[in-house]
Amino acid sequence: MRDVKIRMVVEYGGHNCSANGSVNLTVKAMYSELVNTIQLQQMLNNDVTIKAKMPSAKPVKLGMFRIASTTIDGDGESKIKFNGINDYIEMDNLNLLPTNKSDDKQFVILVEAEIEEEDDEDGEE
């Protein structure tokens, strides 16, 4: 097991909460963050903790999610969707994220996960 941390500059793409307690969070990343978006793929099927740092504010924990999907368009811009359960998510902090009407749309997220490394099965030493 090893800890993986990825820091990205993103824009808020919205969030919603379903009646069954499922919470979806979408963020958008520009072309300059493409390498980080690709690195997120190693966290698939793992619980990830997301923290956000808005301009002129202290970092806040958003909660524990799973990566639901990533979409990369022809310009290299990414849309990353996270899914979680509201028991493990700080809903008040999600409501603090800057909307498109804000002067500072972009903010920094830190995505952390503990992932399992696969052993080399070729018998090499």
pLDDT tens, residue order, the chain (125 aa): 899 999 999 999 999 999 999 999 999 999 999 999 999 999 999 999 999 998 888 999 999 999 999 999 999 999 999 999 999 999 999 998 987 776 788 999 999 999 987 766 655 55
Q: How many CB atoms lie within 10 A of CB 53?
A: 14
pLDDT at 99: 77
Which CATH code fits 2-115? 2.40.30
- Domain residue ranges of the chain, discontinuous segments joined by +: 2-115
pLDDT at 124: 53
pLDDT at 104: 80
pTM over 0.85: yes
Let me know the angle formed at the C-alpha of 96 by 90 and 98, rounded to the nearest 5 degrees.
Answer: 135
pLDDT at 116: 86
Task: Let me know: does 31 contact 76? Beta carbons within 8 Å.
Answer: yes
Residue 71 sits at φ, ψ, to 5 deg, of -125, 130
Give the integer Cα–Cα distance in Å for 43 and 21: 23
